[in-house]
C-alpha cells in the first residue's frame, strides 16, 4: 500500500503549506479541557516549521452549521498551539476572507497561522460537489501545497480533506502515517494473544468493528452501556439500564459467531447498579444476571462494570500482546462509576506489546483519570475514522493521498 508522505513534496522552504489538522477539542466556557489533539499535531507542524515552510493550519471545531458562531471559534486553539510550540501563532478571523489572506501574506519562513473554523463556511461540508469544490479552490489560493494530518476526518469527503488534496500537491502528515501504521498492525498479522476491549454506550456504534475483527482476534471484552444489550440477548433482565432492543438479534448472532470461531467473548459477571443516572446516586454491586434484584428493582440502572469483572478484564489485558480498547467501561465522568475504566487503563499500561487507546471518550477518560499519553503504546485521534478503517471501509481522505 502506498501513501504520499511529506518527502514527496520536496523542499518546502519558503512555500505556503496548508495543514488540515483535527483540532476539534472539547471546550468549556472557551477553555480547552483536553488538548490531546493539539499536541498530536505538533510533530508535523514542527517538521514543517523546521523545513522553513510558511504554515497555514486549518481545522473544524464542533458543528456550527455553516455560519460563524463564537462558541466554536478556534482562537483558544491558536493560543494553546502558541504555548506548546513556544512561538507566536497568528490567528485569522475568517477562513478564506481578507483576514486569512492578510495573515498568510504576512508569514515569514517558519511562521504559522491558524485559520478560523472551516465549518463557518457552508462549502466545507456541502454534499453538492461544485459548492464544496468552490470552497476548496478558495482555500487552495492561500497555499502552494497541502498536508493532510487529521485522521479523525479522513472518512469525510469534505472540501479541506478531499477536494483540496486534489487541487494542490498533497501528502499525509506524520500523524496520519503513524495512525495508519498502528491500525495496520491491528488488522494484519497482529501479535497474539490479541484482545479487543469494547465499551461506550451503544452496540450500534461498534457493529462494523465487531464484525470485521471477530475473525482476527482471540478475545473480545464487552463493557460500557453496550454490555446490557449483550446481557439482554442472553435472556437476562437489565432493569432500566441502557438497552438497544433493535440490536438483540444482531448481538445473538455475534455471540454465536464468536463461539463458532473459538473467540473468547467475555461479558461482565457483576455490575454496579445505581438508583439513577447521577454522580451521587445510591449504588451497589450485583451479579450481572441479577440486575433486577438490586435494591432499586426495575428502576436500577447499570453504570459501571463490577470489581470482579474489572479484575478479570485487567488480567485478560495484561496477558495480551496486542490490545485495542475503544470505549469506557462505565460513566467515568462520575467518580463512583470510574473504577472499571481506571482498572482497564492501568492494565493497558502493563501490556508487553502493542496497546492502543482508540476513540475520543477513551482518550478523554485516561487523561481525566490521571494517565499520561506516554504510558500507552498509542492513543488514537482517529475517532469514527479509525472505527471505519477497522471495519474495512474505504476512506476518501486516505484514497486521495494514494492509499489503496
Say if residue 295's pLDDT is above 80: yes
pLDDT digits (tens, 9 = 90+) for 311-327: 999 999 999 999 999 99
Residue 363: the pLDDT is 83
Final residue before a domain boundary, out of 116, 143, 177? 177
pLDDT digits (tens, 9 = 90+) for 221-260: 999 999 999 999 999 999 999 999 999 999 999 999 999 9
Q: Which of 97, 208, 384, 402 is catalytic?
A: 384
Mean pLDDT score of the chain, rounded to an integer? Answer: 94
Quick one: what percent of the chain has pLDDT higher than 70?
100
Q: In 10 A of CB 237, how many CB atoms?
A: 14
Q: Which of 16, 37, 54, 133 is catalytic?
A: 37
Say if residue 282's pLDDT is above 60: yes
Is 378 labeled as ligand-binding? Answer: no
Residue 80: the pLDDT is 98
Residue 41: the pLDDT is 96
What is d(CA 4, CA 12) in angstroms, rounded to the nearest whole number?
Answer: 15
Clarify whether residues 330 and 207 are in a common domain: yes
Q: Which of 202, 318, 321, 375 is catalytic?
A: 202
Q: Is residue 1 included in any domain, yes or no?
A: no
Clarify whether residues 61 and 145 are in a common domain: yes
If you average pLDDT over residues 249-276, what whole number do you get?
96
Residue 38: the pLDDT is 96
Is 163 labeled as ligand-binding? Answer: no
Q: Is 199 helix (H, G, I), strand (E, B) or coil?
A: coil
Q: Is the dihedral of CA 315, 316, 319, 320 positive or negative?
A: negative
- CATH (domain of 232): 3.40.50.1260
Is 399 labeled as ligand-binding? Answer: no
Task: Give 25's pLDDT tier (boundaries 50, 70, 90).
Answer: very high
Is 46 labeled as ligand-binding? Answer: no
Task: Give 1's pLDDT tier (boundaries 50, 70, 90).
Answer: low
If you average pLDDT over residues 351-365, what whole number do you get?
87
Residue 383: the pLDDT is 80
Is 101 labeled as ligand-binding? Answer: no
* Rounded alpha-carbon distances, angstroms, from residue 9 to 6, 50, 217: 6, 15, 38
Number of domains in the chain: 2
Say if residue 380's pLDDT is above 90: no
Judge whether 330 counts as a catalytic residue.
no
Residue 391: the pLDDT is 83
Q: Could you tell me the three cell numbers for 9? A: 513534496
Q: Which of 330, 360, 383, 397 is catalytic?
A: 360
If you average pLDDT over residues 13-26, what whole number do you get?
96
* Domain residue limits at 354: 190-391
Clarify whether residues 219 and 136 are in a common domain: no
Clarify whether residues 122 and 199 are in a common domain: no
* Rounded alpha-carbon distances, angstroms, from residue 19 to 52, 160, 297: 14, 9, 54
Judge whether 360 counts as a catalytic residue.
yes
Clarify whether residues 386 and 250 are in a common domain: yes
Closest alpha carbon to 147 in 38, 50, 58: 58
Quick one: what percent of the chain has pLDDT higher than 90?
83
Q: Is residue 182 included in any domain, yes or no?
A: no
Judge whether 37 counts as a catalytic residue.
yes
Clarify whether residues 314 and 376 are in a common domain: yes
Q: Is residue 398 included in any domain, yes or no?
A: no
Clarify whether residues 200 and 235 are in a common domain: yes
What is d(CA 21, CA 81) in angstroms, rounded to the nearest whole number?
Answer: 12
Clarify whether residues 261 and 379 are in a common domain: yes
Say if residue 359's pLDDT is above 80: no
pLDDT digits (tens, 9 = 90+) for 88-99: 999 999 999 999
Contact in structure between 208 and 387 (CB atoms under 8 Å) = yes
Say if residue 354's pLDDT is above 60: yes
Residue 208: the pLDDT is 83
Amino acid at each position: 500500500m502506498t501513501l504520499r508522505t511529506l518527502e514527496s513534496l520536496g523542499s518546502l522552504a519558503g512555500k505556503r503549506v496548508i495543514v488540515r489538522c483535527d483540532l476539534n477539542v472539547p471546550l468549556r466556557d472557551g477553555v480547552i479541557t483536553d488538548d490531546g489533539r493539539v499536541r498530536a499535531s505538533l510533530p508535523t507542524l514542527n517538521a514543517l516549521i523546521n523545513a522553513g515552510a510558511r504554515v497555514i493550519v486549518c481545522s473544524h471545531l464542533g458543528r456550527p452549521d455553516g455560519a460563524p458562531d463564537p462558541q466554536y471559534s478556534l482562537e483558544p486553539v491558536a493560543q494553546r498551539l502558541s504555548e506548546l510550540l513556544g512561538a507566536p501563532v497568528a490567528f485569522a478571523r475568517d477562513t478564506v476572507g481578507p483576514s486569512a489572506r492578510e495573515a498568510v501574506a504576512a508569514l515569514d519562513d517558519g511562521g504559522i497561522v491558524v485559520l478560523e473554523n472551516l465549518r463557518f463556511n457552508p462549502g466545507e461540508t456541502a454534499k453538492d460537489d461544485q459548492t464544496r469544490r468552490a470552497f476548496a479552490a478558495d482555500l487552495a489560493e492561500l497555499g502552494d501545497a497541502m498536508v493532510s494530518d487529521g485522521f479523525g476526518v479522513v472518512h469525510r469527503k469534505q472540501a479541506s480533506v478531499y477536494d483540496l488534496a486534489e487541487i494542490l500537491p498533497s501528502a499525509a502528515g506524520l500523524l496520519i502515517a503513524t495512525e495508519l501504521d498502528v491500525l495496520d498492525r491491528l488488522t494484519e498479522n497482529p501479535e497474539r494473544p490479541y484482545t479487543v476491549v469494547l465499551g461506550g454506550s451503544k452496540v450500534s456504534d461498534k457493529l462494523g468493528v465487531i464484525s470485521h475483527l471477530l475473525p482476527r482476534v482471540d478475545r473480545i471484552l464487552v463493557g460500557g452501556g453496550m454490555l446490557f444489550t449483550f446481557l439482554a440477548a442472553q435472556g437476562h433482565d437489565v432493569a432500566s439500564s441502557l438497552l438497544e432492543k433493535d440490536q438483540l438479534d444482531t448481538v445473538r448472532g455475534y455471540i454465536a459467531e464468536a463461539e463458532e470461531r473459538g473467540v473468547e467473548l467475555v461479558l461482565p459477571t457483576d455490575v454496579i447498579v445505581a438508583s439513577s443516572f447521577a454522580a451521587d446516586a445510591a449504588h451497589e454491586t450485583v451479579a450481572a444476571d441479577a440486575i433486577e434484584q438490586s435494591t432499586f428493582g426495575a428502576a436500577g440502572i447499570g453504570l459501571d462494570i463490577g470489581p470482579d469483572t474489572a479484575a478479570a478484564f485487567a488480567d485478560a489485558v495484561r496477558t495480551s500482546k496486542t490490545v485495542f480498547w475503544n470505549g469506557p467501561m462505565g460513566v467515568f465522568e462520575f467518580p463512583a462509576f470510574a473504577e472499571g475504566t481506571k482498572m482497564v487503563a492501568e492494565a493497558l499500561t502493563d501490556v508487553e506489546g502493542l496497546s492502543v487507546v482508540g476513540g475520543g471518550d477513551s482518550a478523554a477518560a485516561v487523561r481525566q483519570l490521571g494517565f499520561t499519553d506516554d504510558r500507552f503504546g498509542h492513543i488514537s485521534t482517529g475517532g469514527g475514522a479509525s472505527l471505519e478503517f477497522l471495519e474495512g471501509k474505504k476512506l476518501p481522505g486516505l484514497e486521495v493521498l494514494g492509499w489503496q
